[in-house]
Amino acid sequence: MSIPPRILAIAGSDSSGGAGIQADIKTVTMLGGYAMTAITAITAQNTRGVQAVEVLSADLVGAQIDSCLEDIGADAIKIGMLGSPAIARAVTERLDSFDGAVVFDPVMVATSGSVLADEDTIAAFSQLMARATLTTPNVPELAALTGLPCDSPDQIAGAATRLASDYGCAVLAKGGHAESTRVIDRLVHADGSFASFDDPRIDTRHTHGTGCTLSSAIATLLGHGQSLEHAVRLGRRFVREALQKAPGFGAGHGPLGHQAVRGD
């Protein structure tokens, strides 16, 4: 029996199970990893929106990370919703002594449109991007992080290149929010080299947790020893299959069908 890669997910809890820590655990497990968690915030949410958020203390988040890393260890870390600048700093401090892959999903707004990061927390993202192996912004997040327009494929490519250059990390600019019949994601390395991934758009309202799922999938695949480009390719495939197998739950943006991708 092979030993599963140890993946630590640092993110908020989604009571409806579609995004956040719950999506992370499902994704890591389906891809053959061992999932550990450091919960940053507890949310009351469903497919229609976020009804309440309670952010945990930075000390408690840090203690969760320490408990995992000091005993079991980790091969890769996925970072999602942080909740406060203090939590962002606590996470950054602990990455100083971590030598595995780090995938940072700079969560700002939920699929439903609810704001999940204030301006001070977003400002603290810079230190995390400087440490990350990969940062995975969607188009609105990319625009917010760079201050550049992202209204066309060329503008998105330029902003991703700027972000990768400024922080010395690879950037996966996700094209799901762009107005197009195809979804084009662009992986840009710090040296300016890039790869593009292009697939037909899947017409569905069941998209809750796509960003969380993709970043966790890539982290798990990196933990398995895949190259970054191949981890992105396989991670995108996992998300697409989960989208196609969504169970149809909820009246709004429904969850993906993580459980149905096992063995595919």
Of the candidates 232, 231, 238, 235, the one whose C-alpha atom is nearest the C-alpha of residue 256 is: 238
DSSP letter for 259, please. G
Calculate the dihedral angle through the C-alpha atoms of 48, 43, 113, 107, rounding to the nearest 10 degrees.
Answer: -140
Cα 190 to Cα 123: distance, rounded to the nearest angstrom: 21
C-beta separation of 23 from 212 below 8 A: yes
Rg, the chain, Cα only: 17
Pairing mode, strands 34-46 and 6-14 = parallel
Calculate the dihedral angle through the C-alpha atoms of 117, 124, 97, 130, rounding to the nearest 10 degrees.
Answer: 110
Catalytic residues: 174, 207, 209-212
Query: If DSSP codes are grouped into helix, strand and coil, which group holds residue 203?
Result: coil
Cα 50 to Cα 71: distance, rounded to the nearest angstrom: 34
Cα 113 to Cα 216: distance, rounded to the nearest angstrom: 21
From edge to edge, which strands make up the β-sheet containing 49-55?
49-55, 34-46, 6-14, 76-79, 101-104, 134-135, 170-173, 182-188, 194-200
